[in-house]
Structure 1
Amino acid sequence: MTAPTIREETLSKERLRLWLRMLRVTRQVEAALRERLRVEFDSTLPRFDVMAALFREREGLKMNELSKRLRVSNGNVTGIVDRLADDGLVERIAIEGDRRATRVRLTPNGCDAFSMMAEAHQGWVNELLDGVDEQDAHHIGELLHRLPTDTGARQQ
């Protein structure tokens, strides 16, 4: 194995700096969104994420499908869905022929509540990224699309 060249070492350090910057910005934006959801809607980011997934799938999702979409355990989703159901924002629907599985979907109140949160969320993100114009946002997005999304894709 040969030692990295100066150029390779410089590139590696720049990529590490980029990662740390992206991580810092992501954490700051996420913390602000969590706080605003808590204060303005008495909600949490995981709750918002569950509602967003269900809003996109109006017919609802099986619990295991919801877990896969959100990349969290069934137990985490179950707790969130239980609280959303208690608040009348989601409903569970039995799946014919499978007594163990249920489909979860937003109620009309859940759709209304999510629509209000989503509108506010979009405004907050817009505000938090105020220093990035439309062209830069598009360019940064395009650059980020170049990165691998499968963590095993580039392992050697």
Structure 2
Amino acid sequence: MQTDRSKDRLRLWLKVLKATRAVESEIRENLRQEFTTTLPRFDVMAALSQHLDGLKMSELSGVLKVSNGNVTGIVERLVDDGHVQREKVPGDRRASRVRLTEAGIAEFARQAAAHEAWIDQMFDSVPEAEVQTLSDALDQVARRLENEGRDR
């Protein structure tokens, strides 16, 4: 039986989803217009910026939670642009490690600064007192689902 509380939670989810799609769409368009790039390329560079020693392609796929095939084409374009370099992994002929180049580090820093400003602007109508509350609530949902997923 559905309760008013469950209907409220359903409405909350639909609002979160609507807001997420709107924010993502805006970010995609901003990246395209200002940097002639895509959100997946930004995501790869963001992951690599957290691992400056580089990641194996399989590790990068794991961090991004996508298939190796999805990452390969993105990495190829970033290599062509001079933002990422690929190197062989000693002792593993099939594996390669990818990492940001100096140019890639500088370019990601520019994009990340713009990204942060876009997010700040998009969320500026959320009262400051509610930002942490909303963040904590969404984090609780994510942690719970991650923990339940591990228990399966």
TM more than 0.5: yes
RMSD of equivalent CA atoms: 1.8
Distance 1:36 1:61 in 2: 27
**Identical-residue share of aligned pairs (%):** 50
Q: Do structure 1's residue 56 and structure 2's residue 50 form an aligned pair?
A: yes
Structure 1 residue ranges, 4+ long, deviating more than 6 angstroms after superposition: none
What is the 5 A alignment of 1:1-156? Answer: 4=1, 9-147=3-141, 148-150=144-146, 152-153=148-149
Report the residue type matching 2:146 in the other structure.
Answer: D
Task: Give the unaligned 5+ runs of structure 1.
Answer: none
**Greater radius of gyration (CA):** 1
Q: Whose helix fraction is larger, Structure 1's or Structure 2's?
A: 2
**What SS does structure 2 have at the residue aligned with 1:57?**
coil
Distance 2:116 2:72 in 1: 27
TM-score scaled by structure 1? 0.91
Distance 2:21 2:58 in 1: 28
**What SS does structure 2 have at the residue aligned with 1:33?**
helix
Task: Give the unaligned 5+ runs of structure 2.
Answer: none
